[in-house]
Amino acid sequence: MSEFYPPVQKPYTRNGEILQEGVFPDGMRRIALGVEYNGSAFHGFQKQPSGVATVQESLEKALSQVANETVTLVCAGRTDAGVHGTNQVVHFDTLAERPEKAWVRGVNALLPDGVSVRWAQPVSPYFHARFSARDRTYRYLICQSSSRPAIGAGLLTWERRTLDIDAMKQAARQLVGEHDFTSFRATQCQARSPVRRVHYIELFEEGDLLVLEISANAFLHHMVRNITGVLLAIGAGEKPVSWASEVLAARDRRQGGVTARPDGLYLVSVSYSDEFGLPDCAPGPRFVPRPLVSL
């Protein structure tokens, strides 16, 4: 931003982005949380007007009880119905003064079994769970089996077709970099720009388990699921490796094939500047805890 056109500071609103030299009310505290959840029982992360069960609604209800005031929050990335999170990051502003253990143990005692706060800490008013995030990383856990898995149902995506992993890796490389991902966004996606930078897409196979990991500066609605749908079709031999780049170049969602199921999809990491001092947690899920490079 040019010095002749400094950023315009917006009036303070709870949980809002605070720019340089912005005003933060006396007595107000900004708290960040790391959250883990099983998305199977929820209609996505974001609170819905219809009142259906969501992760956000569960968290805000529990936080409000601990704070003894109405608490609303902002998350790093809104996940779809059925999608899980191992390291979702949220923040909220509150006048309540509580020890960090109250935001963890106290809140967890009030949450349903499918949601858990992993850590909590005060952060700078300039921290924003969404706008301060540098990168986001997702993992797809895919079970390759001719029979439907019973153990891990809802936590793994079942793929009965035999997959050519090398073909999937070749296709994935065509999607790395900064591109217009119109072909991979949901038709109802509200993002202003379809341009995103994908840092990498890696695949690792161990027995029946295929782990697909994708990292980008940000994602469009259904982008990860649509990319996975294309790669699975290529891996199954239904489409050639070149189809990935053809879909990308088309900039037309109708050319993109099937959206992969939410089962087995996890938001596993959100990265921020070291200046905020947030904990560095293993990506997970807990039964696949290590970074892919170590696998």
Helix spans in the chain (H): 55-67, 100-101, 107-108, 165-173, 223-235, 243-250
Geometric angle at alpha carbon 88, from 143 and 152, rounded to 5°: 25
Q: Active site includes 80? A: yes
Tokens of 156: 């793994």
* Distance, first Cα to last Cα, the chain: 42
CA distance 26 to 202: 46
Backbone angles phi, psi at 253, to 5 degrees: -60, -30
DSSP output for 257-283: -PPPPSTTEEEEEEE--GGG-------
Name residues whose C-beta falls within 8 Å of residue 220's C-beta, 6 or more positions apart in sequence: 181, 184, 185, 186, 189, 191, 194, 196
CA distance 78 to 44: 7
Tokens of 78: 């809104």
From the list 26, 80, 93, 164, the catalytic residue is: 80
CA distance 29 to 203: 41
- Cβ-count burial of 23 within 10 angstroms (0-12 exposed, 13-18 middle, 19+ buried)? exposed
Look-up of token digits 């947030």 = 278
Geometric angle at alpha carbon 112, from 55 and 34, rounded to 5°: 55
The set of catalytic residues is 80
